[in-house]
Amino acid sequence: MMDKALRVLQKYFGYSQLREGQEKVITSLLQGSDTLAIMPTGAGKSLSYQIPALLFEGVTLVISPLISLMKDQVDALKEFGVSSTFINSSLTLRETRSRIEQAGRGEYKLVYVAPERLETESFGELLESLHISFVAIDEAHCVSQWGHDFRPSYLRLGPFIQGLPRRPLVGAFTATATEGVKQDIIRHLRLHNPKIFVTGFDRPNLTFSSLRGENKKVFLLEYVQAHPEQCGIVYAATRKEVDALQAFLTGKGIKAGRYHAGMNDMERQESQEDFLYDRTPVIVATNAFGMGIDKSNVRYVIHFNMPKTMEAYYQEAGRAGRDGEPAECILLFSPQDVVLQRHMIEQTTLHPERKVNELKKLQEMVDYCHTTRCLRKTILEYFGENDVPEECGNCGNCKDDRETVDITVEAQKIFSCIYRMRERFGMNLVAEVLKGSRAKKVLDLKFDQLSTYGIMRQAAVQDIKDCMNYLITENYLRLTAGEYPLIKLEPKVVPVLKGEAKVFRKVARKIEKKNIDPQSLFERLRALRRTIAAREKLPPYMIFADNTLREMAETCPGERTALLRINGVGERKLEKYGREFLAEIQAYVQGH
């Protein structure tokens, strides 16, 4: 039978050999065994059921969860000369009847069906006219209430299969599944003594990075601008965030689409096709986008917000590099992501036991974002692979050349300030007090009279907030839930305040600046400011204030992200004046 499979592979798809995982799965199905295949994105999952479907007599039903997904797959099969069609809610009853009659006459070998269609008695009666020899269930993890993408309609698949006049062969396929999800798939789909194949979760062509403390919008803009010819997906947690990011990128002259469940069907389809056909190289989306999208040349996936499970993260990140070429998967973490995801879980109507499980999975995702271990090893071990090298040499942690610094004193200052503010305020106000701000709210609340007022005067406000974010990620501090989260102390701060424990942090290695005179550089920056002010017909202080120039002279930022951390440099001024000030600083540093 494998000889026939290889001939079909060559005839329709143009390949002469199967991958090892594909061959095992296809062999199992051709031998008549129910089969569960867990194959990572890019491993050729679709071929593993399409080839048997072309060899079996009768019709194969492919259960697929998304209308856009089944249309893409049917279009792709037609390009290969494979007779196939789909049936979903976009068709009229007459169109549905016509396609089933055509399948009954042998005009279609594969019929893609949305699981919701199987719930109606009338549709089941229509299918009775077909000789269904094989049912392939794609995205089978959707059947598990403990998985990351549970769909109640998938629970009807087991009874539906059992109710057919003659039970067909069943194959279940997914890219990610923990042991618990695997058992759910077998039980709910009522697989008969299935053969189980896990082809390995590793995607060696992907580089994983988890970044904390970044200015996310600046990082995203700079990354996309640095990769103008590459296709990428940017995932965000909410529809509102998607809309805002897409508007932000297009406002900077970048062709970027958007995709989320709040758009109508036509808008989503247009946006998806623009991305698939490279008309818009970047798409900003919620997790509603991407399931089964067979776009091979996605060179990067950036998670603007942390997903709530490792399964969701790995599946979404895995949409990069399906062609086997190098691709980047970057996760931008902030403590607010945890607050948002926890709030979204708490607001659901899930059973209490499932909520506990969701919160446990969220914590596992948080742990991934903070680990200093090899990220690839962490992912693979999560999915049950234990024989994994300690370092992959190709993830953000393995390639991390930052130095470890002692930030105990800074941490003590922050803890003390929060304590003296009675843990009743948010991060921004705490940072303003530590900086010594003369803002009205600081003065009205008499925080300028605290002993901690201005004790971090030499640091940029953004750096103070980044340090607090880091202390949150390391469980020294926590943010409360709600629209205006307050910053609270955790028990871990006590030994630090008593001098019994130290706090360490990894930071980028600093450039030696032995010969740099901050006052001399400050004067050069003032001269540049005068030149720009004359050109713009503005008073010099409206370009940048003196204290902003002084901070530039003291810290010598070398790139846009570092410049944005300077107090008084917002995104607008960064765009207008950043390049000139960075060039002046670089010229001075090189000269000294």
| Each residue's pLDDT tens digit, 175-197 | 877 788 899 999 999 999 999 99
Greater confidence (26 vs 361) lies with: 26
pLDDT bucket at 54, cuts 50 / 70 / 90: very high
pLDDT bucket at 92, cuts 50 / 70 / 90: confident
The string of pLDDT tens digits covering residues 511-549 is 555 567 889 999 999 999 999 999 999 888 889 988 889
As a whole number, mean pLDDT of residues 399-425 equals: 92
pLDDT bucket at 148, cuts 50 / 70 / 90: low
pLDDT bucket at 320, cuts 50 / 70 / 90: very high
pLDDT at position 510 is 56
**pLDDT higher than threshold 90 for residue 171:** yes
As a whole number, mean pLDDT of residues 473-481 equals: 82
Single out the residue of 324, 269, 256, 327 nearest to residue 298, CA to CA.
327
- 58, 52 in Cβ contact below 8 A? no
What region does 260 belong to: left with phi over 0, alpha with psi -120 to 50, or beta?
A: beta
Query: Can you tell me the distance from the alpha carbon of 578 to that of 299, in angstroms, rounded to the nearest whole number?
Result: 28
Highest mean pLDDT among 88-97, 233-242, 306-315: 233-242
As a whole number, mean pLDDT of residues 46-62 equals: 94
Average pLDDT, the chain: 88
Q: Is the dihedral of CA 351, 355, 361, 365 positive or negative?
A: positive
CATH class entry, domain 2-198: alpha beta
- Say what the alpha-carbon torsion angle 100, 106, 111, 115 is, to the nearest 10 degrees: 50
- What topology does CATH give the domain 206-382? Rossmann fold (3.40.50)
Q: Where in the chain is the domain with CATH 3.40.50.300?
A: 2-198, 206-382
pLDDT at position 32 is 95
pLDDT at position 512 is 55
Percent of the chain exceeding pLDDT 90 equals 48
- 251, 216 in Cβ contact below 8 A? no
**pLDDT higher than threshold 70 for residue 509:** no
The string of pLDDT tens digits covering residues 200-209 is 788 899 999 9
CATH number corresponding to 403-507: 1.10.10.10
As a whole number, mean pLDDT of residues 247-275 equals: 91
**pLDDT higher than threshold 70 for residue 350:** no
**pLDDT higher than threshold 70 for residue 210:** yes
The string of pLDDT tens digits covering residues 270-306 is 998 899 888 999 999 998 776 556 688 899 999 999 9
Tokens of 98: 């016509």
pLDDT at position 425 is 96
Question: Going by DSSP bridges, is the β-strand pair 487-489/477-479 parallel, antiparallel, or unpaired?
Answer: antiparallel
pLDDT bucket at 508, cuts 50 / 70 / 90: low
**Integer CA distances (angstroms), 504 to 97, 379, 380, 404, in order:** 67, 25, 28, 6
CATH class entry, domain 518-591: mainly alpha
**pLDDT higher than threshold 80 for residue 410:** yes
The string of pLDDT tens digits covering residues 102-121 is 999 999 999 999 888 887 77
**Integer CA distances (angstroms), 410 to 219, 274, 431, 449, in order:** 25, 49, 12, 20
pLDDT at position 172 is 96
Greater confidence (412 vs 19) lies with: 412
As a whole number, mean pLDDT of residues 542-568 equals: 85
pLDDT at position 249 is 96
pLDDT at position 68 is 67
Greater confidence (227 vs 69) lies with: 227
**pLDDT higher than threshold 80 for residue 214:** no
pLDDT bucket at 26, cuts 50 / 70 / 90: very high
DSSP states along 478-498 = EEPSSSSPPEEE-TTHHHHHT
